[in-house]
Amino acid sequence: MTDVSPLRARLLVGGWRQQSLVFPRRGGRLHAMLTSCGVQEATAPDYDWDGRSRGRAELVVFQYSLAGCGLLTWDGEDRLVPPGSAMLVRVPHDHRYRVAPQAGHWQFLYICAVGREVLRATGRIHETCGPILQLATDGPALTVATEIVESGCSGQLTSPFRASGLAYSLVMSVLDEIGGVSLEVPARRLTQAAAAYCREHLADPISVQTLARLCGLSQWHFSRLFKTEHGLAPAAFVQMERVREAVRLLQDTDVPLKVIAAQCGFLDANYLGKVFSRHMGVSPGAFRRSGV
């Protein structure tokens, strides 16, 4: 577990609290900009944000847990944000974050930013590892985040160009730390290997947990990468491959349906029939008799 106590002590000694950042317009529009930062102590149930009800303006929220624990609901799954973890979300979006009930409070460093480049980089980060990040307290991302909070809350951050540079530097540092560029090709290879494993083990039980473990990834991260690469969630992909194998066996062999069901990983011939009919529009028996 990451020791956040030195960083927490540094921020608390500084007494940094919430600070809105407003800068005069100079020249052209900047595509990355800080809007607020600080250190906040939130308590349940008062602190509860729904990403769908915060207006239409697009922004990015970065929060690094210092104490207590946060709870993020994302894609229907609850994810804890304990000390040493960061949460990065985009608004508006279908998510909700609040204080984890079992913790009762959540202390965190936070930064809000806007702009096309910040949004683009955040999307890249989500594709790579999702909304929960594991960042070293002495790594590049937290170094930039700490600089933003300390300079922003002390009144030293007065230049819009420096603020823009720091906003861009923050998301680029996160990408650098998580390997957002170098992971693209390996990630594709991992999901392709997982797909090959599925095709070779259709008769066996195949769970998302098993596939994620084989790839050395979290279930959430693996599922996102797999769907991006193959266009289907892992479970849907496995079912489609089982139907394809059933089609091949129906066309090329005369083995009974119960044998085909077993070889393709279906519970029994009845379940094979239900799934096959849903995908192909006809029953396995009718398909075989058609001679297609």
* Least confident segment among 73-82, 148-157, 176-185, 261-270: 176-185
* Least confident segment among 26-35, 58-67, 140-149: 26-35
**152-162 residue pLDDT tens:** 988 899 888 88
Q: Which residue has better confidence, 207 or 18? A: 207
Backbone angles phi, psi at 70, to 5 degrees: -100, 165
| β-pair partners for 68 | 106
* Least confident segment among 120-129, 210-219, 267-276: 210-219
CB 164 within 8 A of CB 32: yes
| DSSP run (H or E) holding 167 | helix 160-178
Distance CA 195, CA 206 (A): 11
**CB-count burial class (<10 Å; 0-12, 13-18, 19+) for 93:** middle
Distance CA 48, CA 50 (A): 7
Distance CA 104, CA 176 (A): 33
| DSSP run (H or E) holding 95 | strand 95-99
Q: Dump the DSSP string for 1-38.
A: ----HHHHHHHHHHT---EE------SSPPS-EEEEEE
What confidence score (pLDDT) does residue 12 get?
76
Comma-separated ranges of CATH 1.10.10.60 domains in the chain:
184-290
SS3 at position 91:
strand
**Per-residue DSSP letter, 157:** -
Single-letter code of the amino acid located at 142: L
Comma-separated ranges of CATH 2.60.120.280 domains in the chain:
5-178
What confidence score (pLDDT) does residue 216 get?
64
**CB-count burial class (<10 Å; 0-12, 13-18, 19+) for 25:** exposed
What confidence score (pLDDT) does residue 200 get?
87
Please tell me which of 85-94, 117-126, 212-221 the model is most confident about, judged by mean pLDDT. Answer: 85-94
Instruction: Evaluate if pTM is beyond 0.75.
Output: no
The CATH code of the domain at 184-290 is 1.10.10.60
Architecture of domain 5-178: Sandwich (2.60)
**184-242 residue pLDDT tens:** 445 667 788 888 889 889 999 999 888 887 776 677 778 888 888 888 999 999 999 99
pLDDT of 181 above 70: no
Beta-carbon neighbour count of residue 57 at 10 Å?
A: 9
Q: Which residue has better confidence, 62 or 176? A: 62
